[in-house]
Chain A
């Protein structure tokens, strides 16, 4: 395969996401301009101008009309997807670490960092109620007493939010009662990323403790572990094959002290069920910070510390490959 390299960021990529149909890729980086690209040819559609700091997270509504970004400049911003116009600025006390639209696109949530004496909180806004956004009064504030939230996604049916914490915990937070429903601690280092499978029946967590783990969404029952020899920054489940892809590499702060050969910057493909690695894709010059599958499963993208997003379209051999067991 010949990957398309998207070079629209000046600093390391923090998150990439496809929209529902997969024709657009949304990328954000530690520079202040999130970008949107056509996935088919890598053409840049535009960028969202307004942030004044690193953008940690990005999400797009199901109908690709609105984009949500959370940044270290203590704001979470809502954008019009088509024109790049800023629709709303939600001011926070600390940096926004993760954000997301609910499935219906009617509610949005973001989580804030536990710094400067402020607690880590999840804020939930109802987008339909314009007074909430204009008055900066979230519909719900869920405090996370224990540990900082480092990754968060909506659970199915918008009933709860699945959060990954700095101490390795994964929790369910009920949206209506603000209660912590379930909490499991399978990882012993911070969780860098949580992604759901296409039908949301499973979630995969990527952790700094060199593993990615698969959980049943509803119960957070630990099902599979994918072991590597490097911190895992991101993991995604293929929508069509029984595969997962893991992106990672040694920590960014150590990268300059070693060569790319031993930096382990390749994306690793594991079999979902057998937990065994069967393939690797090289290319990045730094650790991979985010991976995402195209919703049709025929391509995937990875964004790295080197500031590049690489869009890989699988060769037919990938689909012919059968895992031997």
Chain B
């Protein structure tokens, strides 16, 4: 039964030189709920008295005879002096709950994530059909045959548009090598590196710049906005923390043309963005340290 701990004032204790032994530990068993409470007093690392209350739920389980017999075995070896019940020094029940993370169609999800940058590029109309203005190559247009008579007309429109609006507008599908069709300079022979289907694998690294000292809140769209005026952007890579999704403070911008990249460096380096001053320089080719 619980023993009454005789009250002592701390002042008294200090006067006595603290040679009082600790209050005795007590054990209480609530039979109704089968809950055992052990109260102990001990000194902590700072030399202060700490009250430790341990609450156990006592369970009765039916077990096979052999198991029950083993339950009564005496402890031996390193556990020889351990009191009955788990020794808190080497048996720790983890307080926080750990759940099994259920994974469903993991591969599918990963693929989606990988394809994300491509989708973004599509939205930028990197590829637009000359027949229907859809997001596909002209040769793959589903309306190729039905809209064929209109093709001539559309081509002319296209030409006008290309002439009047330079810059991002020039990003049209790779032209077929037939006479009479307009070929933008950026797409002519020798200048069309890093376009088309090989874009992702064989990136031209010469027009890549590295932006550092970005703020944590920076998004890819912010960078796009910032660098768009300098010329067509092939790809933006913003380094993000895997878990939090926050920016790690640097990004790579691939331009189509090296001149654009050079202008971007000249224009944005030292530019104050958010509360930080951006640092822009040529990216070192990957693979070199």
Q: Which residues of A contact B (CB under 8 A)?
A: 1-8, 21, 23-24, 33, 35, 37-38, 40-49, 63-64, 82-84, 261, 266, 269, 277-283, 310, 312, 314-315, 317-318, 321, 324
Q: Indicate which residue in B78, B101, B104 contacts A8 across the interface (CB closer than 8 Å).
A: B78
The reply to whether B97 and A46 contact each other, CB–CB distance below 8 Å, is no
Main secondary structure of the interface of B (DSSP, over half): loop
Chain A CB count within 10 A is highest, among B67, B70, B77, B96, for B77
| A2: B residues at CB distance < 8 A | 93-98
The reply to whether B91 and A23 contact each other, CB–CB distance below 8 Å, is no
Q: Indicate which residue in B64, B66, B91, B97 contacts A5 across the interface (CB closer than 8 Å).
A: B91
| A64: B residues at CB distance < 8 A | 66, 70
**Chain A CB within 8 A of B1 CB:** no
**Can you spell out 12 A-B residue pairs with CB atoms less than 8 angstroms apart?**
A3-B93, A4-B93, A21-B67, A42-B86, A45-B73, A46-B78, A46-B79, A46-B80, A49-B77, A64-B70, A278-B102, A318-B100
Q: Indicate which residue in B63, B75, B243 contacts A44 across the interface (CB closer than 8 Å).
A: B75
The reply to whether A44 and B82 contact each other, CB–CB distance below 8 Å, is yes
The CA-CA distance from A3 to B67 in the complex, in Å, is: 22
The reply to whether A23 and B104 contact each other, CB–CB distance below 8 Å, is no
The reply to whether A1 and B97 contact each other, CB–CB distance below 8 Å, is yes
The CA-CA distance from A23 to B92 in the complex, in Å, is: 18
The reply to whether B78 and A278 contact each other, CB–CB distance below 8 Å, is no
| B79: A residues at CB distance < 8 A | 44-47
The reply to whether A1 and B99 contact each other, CB–CB distance below 8 Å, is yes
Chain B CB count within 10 A is highest, among A2, A21, A40, A46, for A46
The reply to whether B78 and A282 contact each other, CB–CB distance below 8 Å, is no
The reply to whether B92 and A7 contact each other, CB–CB distance below 8 Å, is yes
| A5: B residues at CB distance < 8 A | 91-94
**Chain A CB within 8 A of B71 CB:** yes
The reply to whether B73 and A41 contact each other, CB–CB distance below 8 Å, is no
The reply to whether A33 and B78 contact each other, CB–CB distance below 8 Å, is yes
The CA-CA distance from A89 to B80 in the complex, in Å, is: 23
**Chain A CB within 8 A of B16 CB:** no
| A269: B residues at CB distance < 8 A | 100
The reply to whether A82 and B73 contact each other, CB–CB distance below 8 Å, is yes
The CA-CA distance from A83 to B66 in the complex, in Å, is: 16
Residue of A with least CB distance to B242: A261
Contacts A43-B86, A318-B100 given; does A3 touch B75 at CB 8 Å: no
* Distance to closest chain B CB from A24 (angstroms): 7
| A45: B residues at CB distance < 8 A | 73, 75-76, 79
Contacts A43-B85, A83-B76, A279-B100 given; does A6 touch B243 at CB 8 Å: no
Q: Indicate which residue in A3, A8, A43 contacts B98 across the interface (CB closer than 8 Å).
A: A3
| A315: B residues at CB distance < 8 A | 99-100
The reply to whether A321 and B102 contact each other, CB–CB distance below 8 Å, is yes
Residue of B with least CB distance to A47: B77
The reply to whether A43 and B91 contact each other, CB–CB distance below 8 Å, is yes
**Chain A CB within 8 A of B87 CB:** yes
The reply to whether A33 and B90 contact each other, CB–CB distance below 8 Å, is no
**Chain A CB within 8 A of B202 CB:** no
Residue of A with least CB distance to B75: A46
**Chain A CB within 8 A of B103 CB:** yes
The reply to whether A35 and B91 contact each other, CB–CB distance below 8 Å, is no
Within 8 A of A (CB), among B46-95: 61, 63-64, 66-67, 70-71, 73-80, 82, 85-87, 89-95
Residue of B with least CB distance to A268: B103
The CA-CA distance from A251 to B111 in the complex, in Å, is: 27
Residue of A with least CB distance to B87: A44
* Distance to closest chain A CB from B108 (angstroms): 11
**Chain A CB within 8 A of B20 CB:** no
| A21: B residues at CB distance < 8 A | 64, 66-67
Residue of B with least CB distance to A38: B71
* Distance to closest chain B CB from A7 (angstroms): 5
| A283: B residues at CB distance < 8 A | 94, 98
The reply to whether B94 and A3 contact each other, CB–CB distance below 8 Å, is yes
Q: Indicate which residue in A4, A33, A49, A317 contacts B94 across the interface (CB closer than 8 Å).
A: A4
| B177: A residues at CB distance < 8 A | none
* Distance to closest chain B CB from A245 (angstroms): 10
The reply to whether A282 and B98 contact each other, CB–CB distance below 8 Å, is yes
The CA-CA distance from A7 to B95 in the complex, in Å, is: 15
* Distance to closest chain B CB from A222 (angstroms): 23
Q: Indicate which residue in B90, B98, B101 contacts A1 across the interface (CB closer than 8 Å).
A: B98
**Chain A CB within 8 A of B106 CB:** yes
Residue of A with least CB distance to B85: A43
* Distance to closest chain A CB from B244 (angstroms): 12
* Distance to closest chain A CB from B241 (angstroms): 10
Chain A CB count within 10 A is highest, among B92, B97, B242, B243, for B92
| A44: B residues at CB distance < 8 A | 75, 78-79, 82, 86-87, 90-91
The reply to whether A23 and B71 contact each other, CB–CB distance below 8 Å, is yes
Q: Indicate which residue in A4, A40, A280 contacts B103 across the interface (CB closer than 8 Å).
A: A280
The CA-CA distance from A17 to B110 in the complex, in Å, is: 36
The reply to whether B91 and A41 contact each other, CB–CB distance below 8 Å, is yes
* Distance to closest chain B CB from A77 (angstroms): 13
Q: Indicate which residue in A33, A82, A280 contacts B101 across the interface (CB closer than 8 Å).
A: A280
The CA-CA distance from A41 to B61 in the complex, in Å, is: 12
* Distance to closest chain A CB from B106 (angstroms): 7
| B86: A residues at CB distance < 8 A | 41-44
| B70: A residues at CB distance < 8 A | 23-24, 64, 82
Contacts A21-B66, A283-B98 given; does A42 touch B91 at CB 8 Å: yes
| B74: A residues at CB distance < 8 A | 83
Q: Indicate which residue in A4, A6, A84 contacts B77 across the interface (CB closer than 8 Å).
A: A84
